[in-house]
Chain A
Amino acid sequence: MASKVGVLLGTKKGLFIAESDSSRKDWDLRGPFCEAWPVNHAAYDPASGAIFAAGLNAWFGPAVWKSTDLGETWTHSSEGLTYGEGADPLTAVWLIRPAGDLVYAGVEPAGLLASRDAGDTWEHLEGLRDHPTRPHWQPGGGGLMVHTMEVDPRDPKHLYIAISVAGVFESRDGGAIWAPRNDGIEFDFPTEVKEIANCAHHFEMDSEDPTVLFQQSHSGMFISRDGGANWAGVQNGLPSTFGFPAVAHPHRGGSFYIAPLNGDQVGRYMPDAAAAVYRTDDYGANWRALRNGLPQSGAYFGVLRQAMAADNLEPAGIYLGTSTGHLFASADEGETWTEPFNFLPTISSVEAFSTDV
């Protein structure tokens, strides 16, 4: 059965959906959806076929938009997107993560909510709010938020999240109790609480072994091969230790993609203004630059933490969205790239999905 591939592009001016067939050669674009609200992140739920989009309107606040017909029609809800009366208001949703019967929302100020009715209503999982290290959490450049989440495919109550700036946390009970998991992260900023000394930018779980996590941190690329208990730097041969996204190959264990930028104090664009995605196939021991088809001069763009993704086809497709509104796509695991769209608004997030047709 042939597959239709969709790429959800969360942008500063709405959600767009790029679509192709399994060849991923020719692309069509629909949008902007969600009333052109800025969309921080969007996700496709393979269980229900729904698309969820985390919208943030400057006037009307945050809402989670939902489409059950691949973007033809949309509803929105904020019911339960709150820390309660009298508390500091919830200002933004930065992450949508469908997982089994639940849909999770990572929010700002940093917290995690869940929906048990496919995004119609939300409830606060209070474990992070009550965490003893919370008074020491510091907002990063984008704010203090939960922006990354992974769910153990063996156990839906085994969760990992990342907070800027408090690092990676693990819960084994569905989000009631959380433990920091940042040992081994090299972090050169002064901090009072070493166990949360990590400006985690993004992490993903290995596609074959859920005890392997790969992280792009503010301070480098790190891998854990013991479920987050210990991390080790894996940045030899890279042009920079700084970047935002980290993407696991969808089928091959030990294979990850990153998009290094030139550094946190010198512009945050592609090193030498020549664009490249880097891939490891051996858990970070070696890296190879993938730049065939990417611009090799004048690439003064950044790539945000949620703006790179893989589809689940064979060979895997890799997608890179830029701060300058370019979408780059590879249908051969990053070996060669095309540029399907190049005049979009700033791309905040990229997620790929496929459906049988």
Chain B
Amino acid sequence: MATVLLPDSLARLFPGAPRKLDVDGENVFQIVEGLNSQWPGMRDRLLDGRPAIRRHIVIFVNNERATLDTGLSPADEVYIMPAMSGG
């Protein structure tokens, strides 16, 4: 179990999705799968088909940049962010 924070731009795509929630998972990939089971399609917004974290998405665990393999402890905080880019 970890606390997951979603960006507004992502939550807005999935009606009813909160900005902060608890999700079961032993690593970041399982967290993404857990999000997808509650809001089908959210995995595709965060990962490409390889699967890999999309180029302009960053995921932090306790303020450190994470990969899909990064392991989690129950009190961990997972922060999903879109990169600051655009025009």
Binds B, one of A84-92, A204-212, A267-275, A291-299: A84-92
> From DSSP, what is the main secondary structure of chain A's interface residues?
loop
Q: Which residues of A contact B68 (CB under 8 A)?
A: none
Contact status of A61 and B13, CB under 8 A, knowing A79-B44, A81-B44, A89-B49:
no
Contact status of A87 and B45, CB under 8 A, knowing A35-B12, A59-B9, A59-B56:
no
Q: Is A82 engaged at the interface, CB distance under 8 Å to the other chain?
A: yes
Q: Is B83 engaged at the interface, CB distance under 8 Å to the other chain?
A: yes
Contact status of A60 and B50, CB under 8 A, knowing A76-B13, A79-B41, A81-B44:
no
Q: Which residues of B contact A84 (CB under 8 A)?
A: 49
Q: Which residues of B contact A60 (CB under 8 A)?
A: 9-10, 13, 45-46, 54, 57, 82
Number of residue pairs across A and B with beta carbons under 8 Å?
57
Asked whether B48 lies within 8 Å of A89 as measured between CB atoms, the reply is: yes
Q: How far is the CA of A90 from the CA of B54 in the complex (A)?
A: 12
Q: Which residues of A contact B54 (CB under 8 A)?
A: 59-61
Asked whether B50 lies within 8 Å of A89 as measured between CB atoms, the reply is: yes
Range, interface on chain A: 20 to 34
Q: Is A83 engaged at the interface, CB distance under 8 Å to the other chain?
A: yes
Q: Is A331 engaged at the interface, CB distance under 8 Å to the other chain?
A: no
Q: Which residues of B contact A47 (CB under 8 A)?
A: none
Interface residues of A in 60-117 (CB under 8 A from B): 60-61, 63, 76-79, 81-90
Q: How many residues of B contact A (CB 8 A)?
A: 21
Q: Is A193 engaged at the interface, CB distance under 8 Å to the other chain?
A: no
Contact status of A76 and B41, CB under 8 A, knowing A60-B54, A61-B54:
yes
Q: How far is the CA of A79 from the CA of B49 in the complex (A)?
A: 10
Q: Which residues of B contact A63 (CB under 8 A)?
A: 41, 44-45
Q: Which residues of A contact B85 (CB under 8 A)?
A: 58-59
Q: Which residues of B contact A59 (CB under 8 A)?
A: 9, 54, 56-57, 82-83, 85
Tell which of B9, B50, B57, B83 touches A86, judged by Cβ atoms closer than 8 Å.
B50
Chain A's closest residue to B52 (CB) is A89
Asked whether A85 lies within 8 Å of B9 as measured between CB atoms, the reply is: no
Asked whether B86 lies within 8 Å of A58 as measured between CB atoms, the reply is: yes
Q: Which residues of A contact B41 (CB under 8 A)?
A: 63, 76-79
Q: Which residues of B contact A89 (CB under 8 A)?
A: 48-50, 52
Q: Is B51 engaged at the interface, CB distance under 8 Å to the other chain?
A: yes
Give the interface of A toward B (CB within 8 A).
35, 57-61, 63, 76-79, 81-90
In the complex, the 4 A-B pairs of residues with the closest C-beta atoms, listed nearest first: A82-B49, A89-B48, A78-B44, A59-B82
